[in-house]
Homo-oligomer: A and B are copies of this chain.
Amino acid sequence: MKVDGKPYRTIWLNDDGWSVEIIDQTLMPHRFETVTLKNLEAAAHAIKAMLVRGAPLIGATAAYGICLAMRADDSDEALDRAYDTLYATRPTAVNLRWALDEMRAALRNRPRGARVAAAYARAEEICDEDVEICQSIGRHGLKIIREIAASKPAGEPVNILTHCNAGWLATVDWGTATAPMYMAFEEGIPIHVWADETRPRNQGASLTAWELKGHGVPHTVIADNVGGHLMQHGKVDLCIVGTDRTTASGDVCNKIGTYLKALAAHANDVPFYVALPSPTIDWTVKDGVKEIPIEQRGGEEVSQMTGRTAAGAIETVTITPDGSPVANFAFDVTPARYVTGLITERGVAEASREGLAKLFPERVR
């Protein structure tokens, strides 16, 4: 999407044809800086230190990490080492493993000497496939926004609430939850996005607000506490969020706090949609609440906050009393009954086994 008028992806090849450029998302929203990755170690660091984040972008970065490793040494041993190094950066990221497996499959049994070119070709495909998936999600979600716009007085914006960042910064381009919003905006449908701050890591206040602003999409940052009040007063026409993992029965695991918004949407008859690429559906899990373990992260994400001082420095401050314990559950599960629909690259599915079976008959027996 655009940053102040200029189109960007989140990862791209430089003009030299081999080095890889990424956006350093740890500096957001205060600075827009890109970083050049020239070797495996730099790619691994970018993932581990969260310069890049979001499942699809992590996968794409890992794919290019393999390319950079192959440039230095295209042996089987180097391939295995690169795989292991990259996999160790964020072992719970499903897309990371998938991208690494794809790259290994594309290079194994291929003569040395042909591997570098094959790696770059497959990495480029992985990126392009991600963009296509996001665009398809966008097109299917766009229909929903179009319908709501048609039901409102002409010129009145469609108010969309989103949580966390399932935006283009989490993917290669377009995003998942944001793709329908960007497509509606491009089509000239008046929209306005309520961006949940998304404590404790503030990805809404920092990343979602930043990317919407860069592309020129009207939006407002709100505390996570506000969505219920807005829905109660008719100020939200629909919610669209992303997901880290969706179960075969349509339960949705996403950033902590998603469940509270789904409850509020349900209580106030606001449609609640979840946008997802189908590879994030975990066909082995039936009951998300019972079966999905919820990661607990470091308490400092809650007790500390990083931002920009009046003098322009990036500073971290502690907001809790010394010695008060802190808990930091990273995700929650929204049961399928609160989800109006799952926006996938194949279309919008009802959030149920039956709904998913219609779109993915090959996966549901």
Chain A residues with a Cβ under 8 A of chain B: 28-30, 194-195, 197-200, 202, 205-206, 209-210, 212-213, 219-230, 232-233, 255-257, 259-261, 263-264, 267, 289, 294, 302-310, 315-329, 331-333
Cβ contacts under 8 Å, A325 to chain B:
219-221
Supposing A224-B199, A304-B307, A326-B220 touch, asked if A263 and B257 sit within 8 A by C-beta, the answer is no
**Contact pick for A317, options B222, B256, B302, B308, CB 8 Å:** B308
Residue pair A317, B306 in contact (C-beta under 8 Å):
yes
Q: Which residue of B lies closest to A335 (CB)?
A: B232
Residue pair B289, A321 in contact (C-beta under 8 Å):
no
Residue pair B289, A222 in contact (C-beta under 8 Å):
no
Residue pair B256, A263 in contact (C-beta under 8 Å):
no
CB pairs A–B below 8 angstroms (23 shown): A29-B322, A198-B225, A199-B225, A202-B319, A205-B302, A206-B321, A213-B324, A219-B324, A219-B325, A220-B324, A221-B326, A222-B302, A225-B257, A225-B332, A229-B256, A229-B294, A229-B329, A232-B332, A263-B267, A304-B307, A306-B317, A308-B319, A315-B315
Cβ contacts under 8 Å, A226 to chain B:
256-257, 327, 329, 332
Inter-chain CA distance A180–B70, complex, in Å, is 65
Residue pair A308, B318 in contact (C-beta under 8 Å):
yes
Inter-chain CA distance A29–B317, complex, in Å, is 12
Residue pair A221, B320 in contact (C-beta under 8 Å):
yes
CB distance from A211 to the nearest CB of B (A): 9
Residue pair B315, A317 in contact (C-beta under 8 Å):
yes
Cβ contacts under 8 Å, A259 to chain B:
228-229, 232, 264
Supposing A199-B197, A307-B305, A324-B219 touch, asked if A224 and B263 sit within 8 A by C-beta, the answer is no
Most buried by B among A202, A257, A320: A320
Most buried by B among A219, A220, A308, A324: A324
Residue pair A224, B221 in contact (C-beta under 8 Å):
no
Cβ contacts under 8 Å, A213 to chain B:
321, 323-324
Residue pair B324, A223 in contact (C-beta under 8 Å):
no
Sample of 11 further A-B pairs with CB below 8 A, known A200-B223, A221-B302, A308-B318: A30-B321, A210-B324, A222-B328, A223-B256, A224-B224, A226-B257, A226-B329, A228-B259, A233-B289, A306-B317, A306-B319
